[in-house]
Chain A
Amino acid sequence: MASTRISENYRFDTTIDRIGNARTDADGVGETASSGRKIKKISDDPTSTVKVLRNRAALTNIDQFKKTIEFGKEFLTRTEDTLSSIYDSLTRAKELAIQQGSTTYDQPDRSAVAAEIKQIMLHVTRLGNARYGDKYIFGGFQTSNPPLSPDGNYLGDDGQIFIQMDEDSFRPININGRTVFDVPPEEENTRPPLIAVLQNLHDSLDNYDKDKLYKAMDDLDKGMNTVLKARTSLGARRNAIDDVSERLEKSEVQLTVDNNNLESADMVKTALDLKRAESALQFTLQASSKMITPSLLDFLK
């Protein structure tokens, strides 16, 4: 069989092609090495690119969910603290009332106690109008106006504020102020609203009326009960939020690891590839410089 005929163009073209191939190769590896990533264009790996983009978006979202959770937790804490203060104040009112229930006190004493109850009443009203940031926490959706009127009427609505703490998890953060400060449905017509109960307590002491006092004390118990229930429900919510928060931390780590695996080039392999590509290019160039010059003409003298 005849050997391949090597013409000038063949020799030059194939040499240039070879150098071109070696350069393209070296360039690709160089790019991977300098960027440290294997996915630089969508077409490098469309499926992984989409995964990377999804993970990146999920990470951005997690940042937002964390912010939201932080906000939700603080809102809950503020509500909890406020409810605790209310409960403490009510406990104090009850203690005072129990003392006054016995007959050992006279009217001036009772009037003094009544004055203290009045103070407690004002305090609880103020607590009912507590805010977190610019939000009134007990007003339902009516967050921009005080939910309790000066005489203790509930002006808020039944709005439940849900915020998103995870992809599929909207959670309520507010306590319905109506259950605390107004009469809950199951006690409808059996007692007045909370502030009115304190008012009755005050009135029954200021102008001593034993029956009215006992009724007010009884109502106060019920009111305290609803406050306690509301506070307890917050504890459960806080735990649930903590769960979500923990889950987010875990998936954040997982997503970051995933993306590293998908995007990052194996540095050891890349370094070796780079070395190999470099020497391949050098050899090609060296060989080419030797190959391309001589022809028979150079030896005809």
Chain B
Amino acid sequence: MSAGSLANILNKGSESLENSRAAIDVSGHNISNAHTPGYSRQIVNLETKDPIQYGLHIFGQGARIQSIARVHDSFLESQIQREVQVQNKTDTLSKGLQKLEGLFNPDLTSTIRDRLVSFSNAVRELSNSPEEPAVRINVIENGKALSQAFNASYAGVLQIQVDSDESIHQNITSLNEKLVEIAQLNAQVREMSAGEKSGVNDLEDKQDKLVKEVGELIDINVYKDNNNQITVRGPNESLLVEGRLNSRLSMENNFSVQNRSRILVSEFDKPVFTDVTEKLHKGKIGALVELRDVHAQRLRESINTLAKGFGEQFNSIHEAGYGIDDLANKKGRPFFAGLNGPGEAGQNIAVDMTIVANPSAVSAAMSPETFGDNVVANKLVKLFYDPCLVDKSTTLTGFYDKMISQLGHDTAHAKEEATASLIVYDKLKAQRESHSGVSLDEEAANLLKYQHLFNASSKIITTANEMFQTVLDLKR
């Protein structure tokens, strides 16, 4: 036995002391991050050092830290990355559709449908008593109320489009910030991990978290190379992040009635822009674009079709009629104005000013100077339940019903999808937490375990020390 091997024992002890200190350090890190979102627990991987031969025997050289690794399942992680896009899309879309749906709630009594019915009954009264001024005023007031219902529904839908657009704007701003962060993180990871395999655990967690946050907003595909560099591809396979470079999304123009602003992607810093509006299908932005350009837009168009179709046909019948009193000899007056632009019919439909100014202008009679003639009024009544829209295939209320039942089905469908996707996403998150999350029980046990190891290691050192003392005392 040589003094060299005694020193070896001392060495082993001090290394073991160091190992247990490191392990407790890692446990401390884990505990303090137990509730940090996106954190993956880390573990100390100990390994036996290569043995050395002294004389006839081979001696073990103790343990060393092979790596400090994060517990991470990359398959699960990529599933979460995919699902987070779907979950945010369905959730945002479902909420947006519920807002749209609220505008046409069956409990409301001021919807286009209710007002159509009230207006039709006002016209029926007109047919009963065309010579009565009070009845005519009633027709005008109900016509105004119907116009306002059109205007209000239109404005409600338009507001949701404007809000969606604004929301897309904000999300794009935060998306751009995240893209910059990912690119910066790529650079940081490259510097820190030059040569090293471990040690960037926390940065990788951060990468994963950022990528998920990007996925909450927009469609992406994510690739990771051997140097832990993340490449993010966006809609239409556009490169969003590669190495330390990042692209930017931007919106062209502001939203207006005539113009639904387009969403563009730059190619890194180059002034080349690609329109990806049609390619956005996932994430919050995908949902908001769908809400703005498909659902709300379709409703807006339907409201316009209804307002214009109804207004024009009502007018063409009304124009053939004669009024009473001073207008008993004059025909050719439209009842509704604002149908032919500029602007859209739903927004502008209103009772014509000539009619509002003079109830005698309401035309119920087919022939001049016949105050009791209700032929035109009866034709107007028929308009309310004859198929008169879409190539005379559907009634006014039928058209409205189709519009809202489509909306109802879309909303119900979106709600179901959101619920389903949330279940999948929660399940995946739970799996991830189960696998990568910090367990305090486990950390408590680790603390105990490594504290014991620490104590024992120090015992090795004191023992070796005493042995040295003994050897040194021999020489006296």
Give 1 or 0 for each of A39-50: 1 = CB within 8 Å of chain B CB: 111111111011
Give residues in A with beta carbon < 8 Å to B.
4-10, 12-14, 17, 39-47, 49-50, 52-54, 57, 60-61, 63-64, 67-68, 71, 133-136, 139-144, 157, 159, 161-164, 167, 170, 295-297, 300
Given A50-B401, A60-B117, A164-B127, decide whether A42 and B106 contact each other with a Cβ distance below 8 A.
yes
**Are A141 and B437 closer than 8 Å at their CB atoms?**
no
Asked if B184 lies at the interface with its beta carbon under 8 angstroms from chain A, I say no
Give 1 or 0 for each of B108-150: 1 = CB within 8 Å of chain A CB: 0000011001101100110111011000000000000000000
Least CB distance, B392 to chain A, in whole angstroms:
17
- Can you identify 11 A-B contacts, CB atoms within 8 angstroms? A41-B101, A42-B407, A43-B407, A43-B408, A46-B405, A141-B373, A161-B374, A163-B127, A164-B127, A297-B440, A297-B441
Whole-angstrom distance between the alpha carbons of A161 and B404 in the complex? 37
Least CB distance, B233 to chain A, in whole angstroms:
30
Whole-angstrom distance between the alpha carbons of A135 and B437 in the complex? 86
Q: Which of chain B's residues has its CB closest to A49's CB?
A: B106
Contacts of A159 in B (CB 8 A): 370, 372-373
Least CB distance, B455 to chain A, in whole angstroms:
16
Given A42-B104, A54-B401, A68-B124, decide whether A10 and B430 contact each other with a Cβ distance below 8 A.
yes
**Are A7 and B41 closer than 8 Å at their CB atoms?**
yes
Which single member of A8, A42, A170 contacts B411 (CB below 8 Å)? A42
- Closest 10 interchain pairs by CB? A7-B437, A143-B372, A46-B408, A42-B408, A43-B411, A141-B373, A10-B433, A141-B370, A144-B371, A296-B444
Contacts of B434 in A (CB 8 A): 4-7, 10
Whole-angstrom distance between the alpha carbons of A43 and B106 in the complex? 10
Q: Which of chain A's residues has its CB closest to B324's CB?
A: A144
Whole-angstrom distance between the alpha carbons of A221 and B427 in the complex? 96
Q: Which of chain A's residues has its CB closest to B366's CB?
A: A141
Given A47-B405, A50-B405, A135-B131, decide whether A162 and B374 contact each other with a Cβ distance below 8 A.
yes
Given A60-B118, A300-B444, decide whether A167 and B129 contact each other with a Cβ distance below 8 A.
no
Contacts of A13 in B (CB 8 A): 426, 429-430, 433
Asked if B409 lies at the interface with its beta carbon under 8 angstroms from chain A, I say yes
**Are A164 and B124 closer than 8 Å at their CB atoms?**
yes
Contacting residues of chain B (377-411) with chain A, CB-CB under 8 angstroms: 378, 381, 385, 397, 401, 404-409, 411
Interface size (B, Cβ < 8 Å)?
61
**Are A296 and B441 closer than 8 Å at their CB atoms?**
yes
Whole-angstrom distance between the alpha carbons of A28 and B372 in the complex? 55
Least CB distance, B335 to chain A, in whole angstroms:
19
**Are B372 and A57 closer than 8 Å at their CB atoms?**
no
Which single member of B113, B118, B324, B374 contacts A53 (CB below 8 Å)? B113
Whole-angstrom distance between the alpha carbons of A53 and B381 in the complex? 19
Whole-angstrom distance between the alpha carbons of A97 and B118 in the complex? 56
Given A41-B98, A43-B408, A142-B370, decide whether A9 and B433 contact each other with a Cβ distance below 8 A.
yes
Given A8-B35, A141-B374, A144-B371, 13 extra CB contacts under 8 A: A8-B438, A8-B440, A13-B426, A39-B106, A43-B97, A44-B412, A47-B405, A53-B397, A54-B397, A60-B117, A133-B129, A141-B365, A144-B372
Q: Which of chain B's residues has its CB closest to A12's CB?
A: B35
Given A6-B439, A141-B373, decide whether A163 and B128 contact each other with a Cβ distance below 8 A.
yes
Whole-angstrom distance between the alpha carbons of A52 and B121 in the complex? 19
Given A141-B367, A295-B440, decide whether A46 and B412 contact each other with a Cβ distance below 8 A.
yes
Contacts of B101 in A (CB 8 A): 41-43
- Among A5, A143, A170, the one with the most B-chain Cβ atoms within 10 Å of its Cβ is A5
Contacts of B430 in A (CB 8 A): 10, 13-14
Whole-angstrom distance between the alpha carbons of A134 and B347 in the complex? 39
Q: Which of chain A's residues has its CB closest to B405's CB?
A: A46
Contacts of B381 in A (CB 8 A): 164
Whole-angstrom distance between the alpha carbons of A6 and B436 in the complex? 10
Q: Which of chain B's residues has its CB closest to A6's CB?
A: B439
Whole-angstrom distance between the alpha carbons of A257 and B401 in the complex? 21
Given A53-B113, A134-B131, A139-B372, decide whether A43 and B433 contact each other with a Cβ distance below 8 A.
no
Given A54-B397, A135-B129, A140-B372, decide whether A7 and B439 contact each other with a Cβ distance below 8 A.
yes
Q: Which of chain B's residues has its CB closest to A173's CB?
A: B128
Given A43-B415, A60-B121, decide whether A297 and B444 contact each other with a Cβ distance below 8 A.
yes
Least CB distance, B394 to chain A, in whole angstroms:
13
Q: Which of chain B's residues has its CB closest to A37's CB?
A: B107
Q: Which of chain B's residues has its CB closest to A295's CB?
A: B440
Whole-angstrom distance between the alpha carbons of A74 and B250 in the complex? 71
Asked if B353 lies at the interface with its beta carbon under 8 angstroms from chain A, I say no
Contacts of B174 in A (CB 8 A): none
Least CB distance, A247 to chain B, in whole angstroms:
17
